[in-house]
Amino acid sequence: MSSGARAFLGFVYGGVVLAPAAWMFARAFDGEGAGGTALQEALSRVADQDLLANSIWLALLTTLFALLLGAPLAFLLNLRSFPGRALLGRLHWLPLLIPPHIHAIAWARVTGDRGWLTTWLRDVFGVTLNIRAPIGDPASDAILGHLYPGPAWVMACAFFPLVTLPVSSGLRALDAEGLEAARLLGRGTAAFRRIILPQVAPRLAAGALFVFVLALTTYPVVSLLDTPTLIQRVFFTFAQVDQGAGALLALPLVAVALVSAALLAVAARPAEVRTAGVRAPAARPGGLLATLGAVALLVLAAGVPLGSLLHEAGPLRLFGDGPVDNYQSVFGRVGEAFGHSLLVTVVAVAAVLVVAGPLGRILARRGGAVEAAGLALLAIPPVVVGVALVLFYGDAARGELPAWFVAAWTLLWAVPSAVRSGLRAGAAAGAGVLAFLLLAGAAGLAVPVYERGIALVVLAQVALVLPLAVRMLRAAFRALDPAEEEAARICGHGVFSRALRIEAPRLGGAIAGAAVLAYVLCFTELAASLMTLRPGWQSVQVRIFNMVHYQSIGEVSALCVLVIALAALPVAVVGLCLGRRWEVV
Amino acid sequence: MRPVTIIGILGLVLTGLLPAQRGLDRESGTLRSREVLGTLTNGPGGSGPDVLRPVAFRERSPEPPSRPRSGAEPPEVAVYVSLDEEHATAVLKSFEDETGIKVRANYDTEDNKTVGLVNKIIAESGRPLADVYWNNECGQTERLRKKGLLDVYVSPAAAEIPEKFKDPEGYWTGFAARARVLIYNPKLVKPEDLPRKLEDLADPKFAPKCAMAKPLTGTTLTHAGALHAAWGKERTEAWLEGLRKNGVRFERGNAQVARIVAEGERAFGMTDTDDVHVQRLDGRAVDQVLLDQGPDGLGALLIPNSVMILKGARNPETARKLVDWLISAKTESTLAAGRSAQVPLRPGVSAPAHVVDPAKVRIHQADWREVASMIETHQVALERRFLDAAPGAGSDSGSGEKGGVASIWFALAALLLALGFVFLALRPRKAEPVR
């Protein structure tokens, strides 16, 4: 890897992405919060209430639900042929387009205190359903008292495509001939158990780990459903008690998520094999049962919440003299927020693509350790990412970034590279980090970033989305034929010419996939925006989060439907234009 | 030129030239390496490297700097707002239209609430992003005053506002208040069967019909502070414990309390007048009563909005204009007629009939400095009591009792088990031959 590439990696990962989080934790240990009563109070409450236990159980339960929803759907869509399979294959993205907080709002209308399902179950069977309550008594049940199936189900509905996607990708990459041979020779489910399952198990594990990490760190759902988890306490402590204490309180959560993210990095390796162009195994006839199964899974996870929102929002009256419908009424109030959110999203997606492209190219050949460090970012909850950015740029703008941190963080990036690849490599990696820290501090870049505009929100979204986008583009770069590029190089084409004429046409699908993923994640992001919005800027997700507390449910539902439609629009457009040539690995 | 060389030069430029320029200015053209090194590590005037001191890339001052904007830029003012966005937007928009001053507003969120916004202001104290803070209560305002984060501004428009709703030293001014009231659902309870005093809410005969917001933020926290000041610690804590035992349902905020009463999940609940009015406007059949109105009653707490200019505001002129606007009779009248139905504090301001008239009811006379002090003293205890309460319940399940150390071990064991499965899944192995 060239020195320039190392410096670039250091600048992006060591600086832009990870330096704020590192500074936040360093600051917490260095500041008054570490020994203060606020921290002691916060920590004692964590111990008292077993919030970490609640978080772990919630994440495990979410993962279980997501596996139950996502894996069968993947198997049905890829191993069985049935009417409507192609359509369902497109629609299985849908739950991912509904942000988790909107899932929570929708499910609360179904299974909340006055939800139609709750009412029906109570009237018919005398069963009381409470989406917010644990199964057992928290005071006496060591396990059941910490299991909250409501929020776990809501998050599973939001995240299960993250299981379906890698498993589908793995199933398409199966050796078609081998599988056919096994099917001809085997009986019953033998081929499935002995051929298919062992080969897709790593992808299943990767999907499960991804869901686990997200469930552990997602804030809006547990906030809306009032689930006593560690991430909820972290947010409360950040916002209302002490930022240093909040950072330290987040450490156990980050540690658990970090272990999972490390395993994810290992588990996701097989998923980097490109499946585009590989002949997928032939699907066997599935018949009506397969159709019903796939439809039922999708209806359960996406149809119910979407239907509930559409029902609550009421009809859209574009013509006629009737009363103004909820859609028009709410859009009149939040039109500006929509504009701001879209602007932030477009800028963030552009930034992600501009940075992820070169990173994917660099890491396609080497740099697994650096990329693993980038994946570690998945372990940092979005709430913490938001606070870290505010603290880092705030302190840098005030000139309070200490020299010891600049030196220590630079060395932390330089030394491992120096040990592995020599002094020159270490110096390059350190120079990248140092350049960023000096740009933020000495050159005064932190001042405009911190004080005005959308830079902080964009940075938060870039930090959250970049690892995923890089993974996608890295896999695509790896699939390129190096001989073609070598030939172009010998013919005298420079880096940019090669990128434009050789790589771009072959990477179109991957770039489109990364762009769509970044768009959806940025547009629907809430937790970091709660922390990073500057005066004068709004976010439509934050508006929903607030309005659900006091606005009529009809208007809130209409707003949620508009958000989902806007999130789905580019996915539909790109899907129609590129067909199967774009994919999320 | 190789990229690393470019980055190296860039680093040198950034680290050397900018601070060196300061050294040159001060020393009349003399540039000394020790001076530059000192500037790098300790700020201008530093004498040598001291890694334990802040880098101070730019000059720092103990007081937040006042940074007025240049006259060429269009006038604007940045404001933090704790009042619900739907209520505040119209007022700020009319200010923009009337004065031509652009308002950049940032609202609290339902999770952060007032305390979150106040903590944000405290965190930004060296470099405030807002010029004005429009708080929907005044307990937390006092916290800012005590920390020295407010500038004195006695607005000419505040002359008619009663003294008890203003800071005696002019750090903040109160206007347009909300009253703490009991919202009730007439379908579930008759007015004559309602509690008459706050203390009745802990009476077993009203169990479990009541709802209330957790006193952790907003007006409910202010109310708790006012009760601590009026009743003392023991009586207030006994009352709060009584509420818990009486099955009072503790919600996240006052809006939720009003909603669940309107939807019939609880018969009545403590909330603010604006939340009641919003439910009425949405067509819900709810009504309100003021508690403690007897001759020896404490009276209903009237909590004014408060507005203040933050120390170090970069737009002091426009900030003063916004303060004048907010505390004007026109704004009080607008807020009274609007969805929030706020109570004008000035005598003689027109208000619709549904707005509480402070002259006709018994008001809890609170000393806001004492209330703020009580909040500061008892906030941790309140958090301990209410933060861990089980959601949507008023029972004892979550009042500090824990499920035992076993729960965390069970959770970790389950996690290890799950990770074990993942490990097995990742174990490299070949597909078995099919027999």
Contact A65, A160 (CB under 8 A): yes
Minimum-distance CB partner of B104 among A434, A536, A546: A536
> Can you tell me the distance from the alpha carbon of B297 to that of B365, in angstroms, rounded to the nearest whole number?
11
Report pLDDT for B58: 38
**B97 vs B63, B76, B91, B94, B314, CA distance in Å?**
34, 12, 10, 5, 22
Report pLDDT for A579: 62
- In this predicted structure, the answer to whether residue A391 has a pLDDT above a threshold of 70 is yes
DSSP H or E segment with residue B255:
helix B254-262
C-alpha atoms less than 13 angstroms from C-alpha of B8 in its C-beta half-sphere = 11
Q: What is the nearest CA distance from A181 to chain B, expressed in angstroms?
A: 9
* Least confident range of A108-117, A171-180, A430-439: A171-180
Minimum-distance CB partner of A535 among B130, B282, B435: B130
A335 touches chain B (CB under 8 A): no
Nearest CA in chain B to A451: B129
Bridge-based pairing state of the strands B76-81 and A284-285:
unpaired
Q: Within its chain, how far is the Cα of A228 from the centroid? A: 22
Q: Per the CB < 8 Å rule, is B397 touching A204?
A: no
- CB burial of residue A11 (10 Å; 0-12, 13-18, 19+): buried
Nearest CA in chain A to B12: A435
B12 touches chain A (CB under 8 A): no
The two tokens of residue B35 are: 């001076």
Mean of the per-residue pLDDT values of chain B: 78
B172-219 pLDDT, tens digit per residue, is 999 999 999 999 999 999 999 999 999 999 999 888 899 999 898 888
B418 touches chain A (CB under 8 A): yes
Q: What is the arithmetic mean of pLDDT over A9-38?
A: 77
Report pLDDT for A92: 81
> Can you tell me the distance from the alpha carbon of A211 to that of A513, in angstroms, rounded to the nearest whole number?
20
- CB burial of residue A527 (10 Å; 0-12, 13-18, 19+): buried
What's at A473, amino acid-wise?
A: L
Q: Per the CB < 8 Å rule, is B55 touching A259?
A: no
For residue A324, what is the DSSP state?
A: P
pLDDT band at B429 (very low <50, low <70, confident <90, very high): low
A186-212 pLDDT, tens digit per residue, is 666 777 777 778 888 888 888 888 899
Q: Which residue, B376, B305, B334, is CA-closest to B132? A: B305
Q: Which residue, A15, A42, A52, is CA-closest to A255? A: A52
> Can you tell me the distance from the alpha carbon of A498 to that of A507, in angstroms, rounded to the nearest whole number?
12
Q: Per the CB < 8 Å rule, is B4 touching A402?
A: no
Contact A263, A381 (CB under 8 A): no
The two tokens of residue B87 are: 């209520």
The two tokens of residue B153 are: 């501004």
Q: What is the arithmetic mean of pLDDT over A424-439?
A: 90
> Can you tell me the distance from the alpha carbon of B119 to that of B104, in angstroms, rounded to the nearest whole number?
19
A123 touches chain B (CB under 8 A): no
Task: Return the SS3 of B249.
Answer: strand
Helices and strands in chain A, H and E counts: 31, 2
Report pLDDT for B407: 67
Q: Per the CB < 8 Å rule, is B54 touching A400?
A: yes
Report pLDDT for B331: 93
B407 touches chain A (CB under 8 A): yes
Q: Within its chain, how far is the Cα of A91 from the centroid? A: 19
B402 touches chain A (CB under 8 A): yes
- In this predicted structure, the answer to whether residue B65 has a pLDDT above a threshold of 50 is no
ipTM surpassing 0.85: no
**A331 vs A105, A546, B108, B279, B291, CA distance in Å?**
18, 15, 21, 21, 39
> Can you tell me the distance from the alpha carbon of B273 to that of B313, in angstroms, rounded to the nearest whole number?
32
- Chain B residues lying within 8 Å of A261, measured CB to CB: none
Q: Which residues are B249's β-sheet partners?
A: B211
> Can you tell me the distance from the alpha carbon of B30 to that of B106, in angstroms, rounded to the nearest whole number?
47
Report pLDDT for B303: 93
The two tokens of residue B283 are: 């067509």
Q: Which residues are B364's β-sheet partners?
A: B301
Task: Give the long-range contacts of residues A121-130, CB within 8 A, separation 24 or more.
Answer: A130/B392
DSSP H or E segment with residue B363:
strand B363-364
B41 or A400, higher pLDDT:
A400
For residue B248, what is the DSSP state?
A: P
Q: Which residues are A202's β-sheet partners?
A: none
Report pLDDT for A257: 78
Minimum-distance CB partner of A201 among B111, B253, B425: B425
B74-95 pLDDT, tens digit per residue, is 789 999 998 888 788 889 999 9
For residue A402, what is the DSSP state?
A: B
- In this predicted structure, the answer to whether residue A23 has a pLDDT above a threshold of 50 is yes
Q: How many CB atoms lie within 10 A of CB A570?
A: 18
B225 or B394, higher pLDDT:
B225
Q: Per the CB < 8 Å rule, is B408 touching A53?
A: yes
Q: Which residue, A556, A500, A408, A472, is CA-closest to A25? A: A408
- Chain A residues lying within 8 Å of B17, measured CB to CB: none
Beta-sheet strands, E only, within A429-532? none
Q: Which residue, A443, A387, A565, is CA-closest to A21? A: A387
DSSP H or E segment with residue A285:
strand A284-285
The residues, ordered by sequence, that sit 6+ positions from A243 with a Cβ below 8 Å of its Cβ are A24, A28, A33, A387, A391, B123
B80 touches chain A (CB under 8 A): yes
B333-380 pLDDT, tens digit per residue, is 999 998 889 999 988 888 898 898 888 899 998 888 999 899 888 887
A24 or A291, higher pLDDT:
A24
**Sequential DSSP letters for A146-165:** G--HHHHHHHHHHHTHHHHH
Task: Return the SS3 of A171.
Answer: helix
Q: How many CB atoms lie within 10 A of CB A180?
A: 13
A89 or B261, higher pLDDT:
B261
- What's this model's pTM, rounded to 2 decimal places? 0.81
Interface of B with A in 255-314 (CB under 8 A): 255-256, 259-260, 263, 265, 275, 278, 282
Q: How many CB atoms lie within 10 A of CB B48?
A: 10
Contact A471, A513 (CB under 8 A): no
B312-327 pLDDT, tens digit per residue, is 998 999 999 999 999 9
A135 or A59, higher pLDDT:
A59
> Can you tell me the distance from the alpha carbon of B271 to that of B178, in angstroms, rounded to the nearest whole number?
10
**Sequential DSSP letters for A221-267:** HHHHTT---HHHHHHHIIIII-HHHHHHHHHHHHHHHHHHHHHHHHH
Report pLDDT for A41: 61
Q: What is the nearest CA distance from B285 to chain A, expressed in angstroms?
A: 15
Q: Per the CB < 8 Å rule, is B400 touching A551?
A: no
Percent of chain A beyond pLDDT 70? 88
Helices within A16-148 (DSSP H only): 19-30, 37-49, 51-79, 85-91, 94-97, 100-111, 116-125
Q: Which residues are A487's β-sheet partners?
A: none
Report pLDDT for B433: 54
CA max distance for chain A: 78
> Can you tell me the distance from the alpha carbon of A38 to that of A242, in angstroms, rounded to the nearest whole number?
7
Residues across chain B: 435
B107-162 pLDDT, tens digit per residue, is 887 776 778 888 888 888 878 889 999 998 888 898 899 889 999 999 999 999 99
A473-500 pLDDT, tens digit per residue, is 888 888 788 788 788 888 888 877 887 7
A411 touches chain B (CB under 8 A): no
> Can you tell me the distance from the alpha carbon of B42 to that of B51, in angstroms, rounded to the nearest whole number?
8
For residue B58, what is the DSSP state?
A: S
**A3 vs A8, A238, A422, A477, B1, CA distance in Å?**
9, 39, 11, 20, 12
Task: Return the SS3 of B317.
Answer: helix
The two tokens of residue A484 are: 């073609």
Would you put residue A96 in left (φ > 0), alpha (ψ -120 to 50) or beta? alpha
- CB burial of residue B305 (10 Å; 0-12, 13-18, 19+): buried
Q: Angle at the Cα of B177 (from B176 to B183), degrees rounded to 5?
A: 135
pLDDT band at A35 (very low <50, low <70, confident <90, very high): very low
- CB burial of residue A288 (10 Å; 0-12, 13-18, 19+): exposed
Nearest CA in chain B to A261: B419
